[in-house]
Structure 1
């Protein structure tokens, strides 16, 4: 039977951290509790804020609302497309930058530029570049015969456009994370593989990718949490249109809360998003822990 040894000064450290922990708990738990209560209430803003208990009415409406179901379907499409492309492209870019002998810092600086642009600015750039009257990208698409209509005003191309803008902005983040993981790949194993005559494909598949798998999972977790609740680019470019073709759950939540002021129902939708985020994060953490525990 093992006995836990109390480290000297541990009680003092806990006492010093207690005020910050209490403040953090208040900041986190009070809004969460308020949202849970609002999701069980009918919220009225006429004559001031008033809440009347409504039971599970908002939750029943949530699971029977076809608009929310359609928004979740679009969110899944947006999530899979953006995260999948960013992981593949980011890994490829990281491998290319890592293989450079000269000019690596310059190339990396150029690659990371989109990541430092605010999402709202990216949305504004996309809106102007794809404008059907004077947008550069719209002109290029029309000149090459690929597409001659209004990109942001068409059901299919609008979703492709917001996905492309998200991928353009956040692929550098994945590349930076993967590049950091590539520096930890054992060089002696790679040198031994070179001596044995292993090809680059075999080294990549059997040495490099297994070594950076935990880093890839971390990058996937970070981007998954962000893509699930991403708002700014879609709001600035299409605002969920045309015909709700890009209205993901965050955009739908904004409309419910700040256009229709149905705060009780909005709280239920927001808590559902929180639950899905927690489930995804838990799955990734479990996979990462299992991966680290495997000898």
Structure 2
């Protein structure tokens, strides 16, 4: 009669190497998680409490429970609704133009054989300028009295105050954003183009593909994942963009450039309606999470989210 030895659970010493590494990594991250979790969760809980209250500042900070009043205002306030529409238009224009120009510039640099590093260094300069200085520079260049762009427009027969008209003011802040952040898309796209295998391009050339066909069916599909990452990075920043608009127009003229972050700042620090501002901020957070999850799902389909 044979007996079977009891099966003992695997100890830490006999566990697979990957599992042991994950346990070791978890121990290393535990102190940081324990420190950062309260720093992240407590402000979030505080903001949620603010969004459900009327916040009084006179005589000390005091919360009066208001239920869903602030949240009802968020979804019924016509000013917030218009701000979301402007934010959507601003988001589509800035991110769309930056992605298009960034890919075009990256393709040009990819084909450049001499002086590529010099040209790339000059192209990346706007990205390292603080957005506040970009706004100040744009405001001075478009000034109707001494601005360079205003002078050029006058000589072209266009007599207008760039930041004083609704349409031109919106176009101006969009172009300032594009000028600053197109280099980021160019750098990311160029990194993706540098990884396109030369053998694939040579094989496509031997098959008689034209330049446009090579770009459409070989190059762009090869860097689609990289472009998706670039789109995610810019989208997360464009949703909450504030600096340039506040420095140049303060949301004007006639609220033409008052997107949601500008409206949030105005509600919180001009009208001191902190409960309502907290509800607006949480709604922006939800929208950001939804957009991020959509991009992560796309990355996961391409096998890049692991």
TM-score (norm 2): 0.92
Shift of 1:23: 1.4
Query: In structure 2, what is the equivalent of residue 274 of structure 1?
Result: 285
1:52 Cα deviation from its structure 2 partner: 1.1
Classify 1:193/1:262 alpha carbon distance in 2 versus 1 (closer, same or farther; 3 Å).
same
Shift of 1:10: 4.7
Q: How does 1:109-188 map to 2 (within 5 A)?
A: 109-145=121-157, 147-188=158-199
The yes-or-no answer on 1:77 pairing with 2:89 is: yes
Name the structure 1 match of 2:19.
7
Q: 1:289 to 1:14 in 2, by over 3 A?
A: closer
Distance 1:134 1:250 in 2: 30
Q: Find 1:105's aligned residue among 117, 121, 126.
A: 117
| SS, match of residue 33 in structure 2 | helix
Listed as ranges, the gaps of 5+ residues in structure 2 are: 1-9
1:208-247 equivalent positions in 2, closer than 5 A: 208-247=219-258
Equivalent residue for 1:61? 73
Question: CA 1:268/1:149 → structure 2, altered by over 3 Å: closer, same or farther?
Answer: same
Deviation of the 1:76 alpha carbon: 0.4
Of the candidates 164, 185, 194, which is equivalent to residue 205 of structure 2? 194
1:23 alignment counterpart? 35
Match of residue 268 from structure 2: 257
| Shift, 1:9, TM fit | 5.8
Matched residue SS, 2:64: strand
- Mark the runs of 5 or more structure 1 residues left unpaired by the alignment: none
Q: TM-score, normalised by structure 1?
A: 0.95
The 3 A distance-change label for structure 1 pair 177 and 73 is same
Aligned length: 290
Distance between the aligned counterparts of 2:174 and 2:140, measured in 1?
Answer: 16
Question: Cα offset for 1:16?
Answer: 3.1
Cα displacement (A) at 1:11 = 4.0
Cα distance in 2 for residues equivalent to 1:45 and 1:38: 12
Provide Cα deviations, 1:128-161, integer angstroms capped at 9, x if missing partner.
000000000001011112x311110111100000
